[in-house]
Amino acid sequence: MRVADLNYIQGPISMQPAGAADWSPAPVNRPFTTGDNLWVDSGGQAELHLNDAVLRCGDQTSIGFLNLNDHIVQVRFTQGELILRVQQPLPDDTFEVDTPNAAITIFGDGEYRFNADPNSATTWVVVRRGQAQITGGGQTFPLNAGNSAQLTGTDQLTYNVEYAPAPDGLEAWSEDRDAREARLMSARYLPPGVIGYEELDAYGTWRDTPGYGAVWYPSVDAAWAPYTVGHWAWIEPWGWTWVDDAAWGFAPSHYGRWAYLNGGWGWVPGPLLIAGGGPPPMAPVYAPALVAFFGGGGFGMSLSLGGGAVGWVPLGPGEVYTPAYQVSANYFRVVNVSSTRIVNVNITNVYNTVYVNKTLTNVAINQHFANMTAPHAFVAVPQNAFAAGSPVRQVAVAVSASQIAQIRPTAVAVALPVAPTRQALSPLAGTRPAATPPARAMNVAVVAKATPPPPPVPFAAKQAALQQSAGHIIDAPAIRQSVPQPRPAQTVHVAPPARAVTPHVQATTPRPPQNTPPAAQPNYRPPQNPVPAAQPGYRPPQSTPPSTYKPPSNTPQSQQQKTQQQQKQTQKLKKEKEEEKPK
């Protein structure tokens, strides 16, 4: 399942998790998935990384994910300014930005700019590189590199295709971010598709380590250990998910394994590094947290905590990750072998033991969890604090080495028997004020080309069922059938079959649109006068304009060329006459 990492935030940024009714502050490293919404308030900027794309938002911007899986990225964009950069997507990938006026489908590598103004019901689309297809109002047409389109209306779409304006301040910031990523050393140590590596260079070092290959060592204090500075959040379809507080915390929390080496913690990313180079055997697969959970039974009693306790330890290299959510045998194999080298463990046997026979004894016996004895690695918190997503360092309880040694193998928990509270959806709720988007940004309907899945089930409607299932992920269709829910307002209109049209590209850069972008979008500046071809930043279309386009013949430049040609012809005739004269 594809995921987006909120890896950069500046200013007031808020989020509304799937199924939540309220908005809360958005923490860095929060994984975003289908149904999640993001609001960037005035003066803010945000960046989300996917495995093959980057989304960058300016201020007063509202986006959400209508769908986010292995084959489609479907973004709901209703207000503000958005930049999308797509890089080397797979052939069957679909990228779609759904706006109040039309659905914009992205084709291949490229760089795209969007503005949306709910006041004037207008959307602007700019294609810097790549190609897009615009669908709405019963028609569809391409938008090529170097072109822009102004879209108004829905049932009857009105559009104006023109040359793209010069880049603005938001695009300059985006280009700076791209240039920064191009200089990162960490990319050379990681297979493509690892999300969240962008901060590793600034907060640690890579060192070649015998037996492991290239290992990343974070710059941390002596009391630090993985999965100790952050909180647990309930994010479906995975369930309990680790959200790290460190700026660099996304990639090392969701890929690879941790090892305590030579007196310090090192992150071992995956088989590409161990093998010493070459292409990875398969694309890395995101995991909500690569830990072994302990809870219930003898473990809870050994800590003598009221209401029980939950503990965990980071998985070491070669140790098998057993997801708490239901998975297929193929997914189980891929999520493990893409993040570490599994040695002397039969993956199929482990899968059958855990998910088919539903017994854990053999798994625990075969895995000794090397990090159990590493400094500060084993962490335990009261179960009620875990269920609320409380900051771990504030609620962690001391566990002695003798207590850890008494933990029985049967205490290993795959499906952790802890049901989430409402607080677990957004643990930062209430810690500070959260900016709320205007109602029109959330209530306006968008046009979609691909049919998105149904909206998420409200958490309040399924909380009782989650309590009864002790935290097991519940199939959404089953919840919809068993729990009466109010019919949500229609916020997505799937575009009907459309006829292809060929837009006419204006010969000059566009005049200012009649409905200018909102005042809250200071970075967008449509050109006030036609832009001469020599002006820096002007990028003419890479494709030939339609056949209806005829270049002007009466421009100053063409008159000058005619004059020069006439002068050359006169000189040539004069020279011929001189040569014909008798000598």
Among candidates 429, 321, 314, which has minimal Cα distance to 374?
314
Distance CA 239, CA 272 (A): 28
> How far out from the chain centre does Cα 530 lie?
37
Q: 184-191 contacts: CB < 8 A, separation 24 or more?
A: 186/216, 189/214, 189/216, 189/269, 189/273, 190/251, 190/269, 190/270, 190/272, 190/273, 191/269, 191/270, 191/272, 191/279, 191/280, 191/283, 191/284
520 domain-assigned: no
The answer to whether 384 touches 307, Cβ cutoff 8 Å, is yes
> How far out from the chain centre does Cα 396 lie?
30
Question: What does the pLDDT read at residue 365?
Answer: 63
Q: Which residue has the tokens 């615009």?
A: 134
384 domain-assigned: yes
Question: What does the pLDDT read at residue 364?
Answer: 64
- What one-character-per-residue DSSP string does 440-464 give? HHHHS-EEESSPPPPPPPPHHHHHH
- What one-character-per-residue DSSP string does 20-31 give? -SS-EEPPTT-E
Output phi, psi for 459, to 5 deg.
-60, -35
For the chain, what is the domain count? 1
Query: Could you report the average pLDDT of every consecutive run of 10 residues in the chain (583 residues)?
Result: 94 95 95 97 96 95 96 96 91 92 94 94 96 94 96 92 94 96 92 91 96 95 96 94 97 97 94 52 87 70 58 94 91 93 89 85 73 94 93 92 79 80 89 89 93 91 82 60 53 76 59 37 35 30 30 36 50 54 46
Q: What is the pTM of this model?
A: 0.83
Question: What does the pLDDT read at residue 89?
Answer: 80
Whether omega for the bond prior to residue 237 falls within 30 degrees of 0, making it cis, is yes
> How far out from the chain centre does Cα 255 lie?
15
Question: What does the pLDDT read at residue 560?
Answer: 44
148 domain-assigned: no
Distance CA 103, CA 93 (A): 16
Question: What does the pLDDT read at residue 23?
Answer: 95
Q: Which residue has the tokens 């940004």?
A: 441
189 domain-assigned: yes
Distance CA 536, CA 378 (A): 58
The answer to whether 427 touches 395, Cβ cutoff 8 Å, is no
250 domain-assigned: yes
Contacts of 476 (CB under 8 A, 6+ apart): 454, 456, 457
Question: What does the pLDDT read at residue 325?
Answer: 87
Q: Which residue has the tokens 């960046």?
A: 47
Cβ neighbours around 322 below 10 Å, total = 24
Distance CA 184, CA 3 (A): 22
How far lies 375's CA from each of 33, 97, 230, 252, 529, in Å?
Answer: 34, 47, 18, 18, 66
Among candidates 118, 272, 113, which has minimal Cα distance to 192?
272
Residue 524, classed as helix, strand or coil, is coil
Among candidates 48, 58, 8, 10, which has minimal Cα distance to 28?
8
Distance CA 15, CA 27 (A): 9
201 domain-assigned: yes
Question: What does the pLDDT read at residue 244?
Answer: 97
Among candidates 195, 267, 203, 218, which has minimal Cα distance to 30?
195
Distance CA 240, CA 549 (A): 58
326 domain-assigned: yes
Q: What is the DSSP letter of 376?
A: T
**Residue 443 carries which side chain, given as an amino acid letter?**
N
Distance CA 72, CA 1 (A): 10
Q: What is the DSSP letter of 113?
A: E
The answer to whether 141 touches 119, Cβ cutoff 8 Å, is no
| Distance in angstroms between the alpha carbons of the first and the last residue of the chain | 90
Among candidates 56, 57, 55, which has minimal Cα distance to 73?
55
575 domain-assigned: no
Distance CA 346, CA 122 (A): 57
Which residues constitute the domain of residue 239? Answer: 185-425
The answer to whether 253 touches 312, Cβ cutoff 8 Å, is no
Distance CA 530, CA 507 (A): 10
